[in-house]
Each structure stands twice: as structure tokens, then as C-alpha cells.
Amino acid sequence: MKIQDFDVVIGSEEHVKYAQEIVDEMAESAKARGTGIARRTPEYVAGKIREGKAVVAYVKETGEWAGFTYIELWGDKSYVANSGLIINPKFRQIGLARAIKTKAFFLSLKMFPGAKLFGLTTGLAVMKINSKLGYRPVPFSELTSDDVFWEGCKNCVNYPILEMKERKACLCTAMLFDPEIDHVQTSMPASQLFDIMNDIL
């Protein structure tokens, strides 16, 4: 299959039906990688979809779920994370992760102008996608200090390292996009590019 065979859209009520499958695949993927993730319930994922704070991908012809990520706000709305990126194993290596991450990135900029976008990852593919969008590696000290965010790391097998380093370092790479100083990899305004992407993805 090709990327053109999928719709990549902002989540709405019609996509809530995918919530259980998304959560199940998140758990299976974490188990396969030997890492932990912040546990998410179908109700939580469904809430993000209903709020329009999620990006969902599905097969145009069959409606089968293909990928997902959601937006989370931290630190009194000054930090935004695109979290829970997951691709249906049947549809990996097609380019869906990049399409979903890109859409979520511009949706985040549009919904929360001025907020810093950040993420933690050990995945090289995600790092490459983030870099192309304009994210840069940063020390953990530049991320949100919101305790609730860091509590989510407790399910990861590497949490003892994070704790030992006093939340200043771990095996993950921290990446940040600050709209005040970083630049999207295009000369087009973010809001305009988002509207165009909304039509083509």
C-alpha cells in the first residue's frame, strides 16, 4: 500500500471506535520493544479524539485503523507534547508516522500558539522526523517541569536511570521546538501550511 491509500485526519466522534485497538497496540508495541510507556485507557484516548486533540490514520477503502497520536498540554499550557504515536504493524514502513507527526505538529502550533513543542524518544525514526520539522536536541532541563508528565515515565524500564539522574538525563533523547527561536522547515506560515495539509493528507 501507499500513503495515498490512507486518510490522515484530525480525530472526531466517528474515530472513537478505534480507541480500544489503539491502546492494545500501544501495549503490545511497548512489550515488543522491552520498554514501558505511560498507561493509557480507551476512555482517555477516546477523550483526546473527541476533543480534536488527536490525529488518526485509516485505510480509505476499508476504514481499518492505521495510526494515531495525540496532543497533551503541560506546564500551564506553555508546553505541548505529541504523544502516543503508534502505527498498526500491518502498515509500517509506508510513511504514515511522518504524515501523522507532521499533521500533529502543525495542529499543535495552530491550537496553542506560542507553546513549546517537545518530546522524549529513543527511536531513531522519530528523531529524524522531528529534526526535519525543526525540533532540536536539548537538555532535559529545557522541558516541562510538570511533575505529572514525569510521573508517566515510571512505567518505563529505564525509569531508575532517570531518577538517579534527578530528571536531568536518561536513555531518551529530549527534543524541543520553540516557535520563538526555531523555524519550521518552510517559508510558509504555519497556519497556512496546516490548512493545506488538512486538504492533502
CATH of the domain at 100: 3.40.630.30
Q: How far apart are CA 8 and CA 198, in angstroms?
A: 8
Query: What average pLDDT does the chain have?
Result: 86
Q: What is the pLDDT of residue 201?
A: 45
How far, in whole angstroms, is CA 71 from its chain's centroid? 7
Question: Which pLDDT band, with edges at 50, 70 and 90, does 75 fall under?
Answer: confident
Q: What is the DSSP letter of 70?
A: E
Query: Do 175 and 130 touch, CB atoms closer than 8 A?
Result: yes
CA dihedral (181, 140, 85, 184) in degrees, to 10, reads 10
Residue with cell 539522574: 165
Residue numbers of the domain that contains 19: 3-200
Q: What is the structure's pLDDT at 187?
A: 45
pLDDT digits (tens, 9 = 90+) for 137-164: 999 999 998 888 888 788 777 889 999 9
Full-model pTM? 0.84
Domain count, the chain: 1
Grid-cell match 480507541, residue found = 19
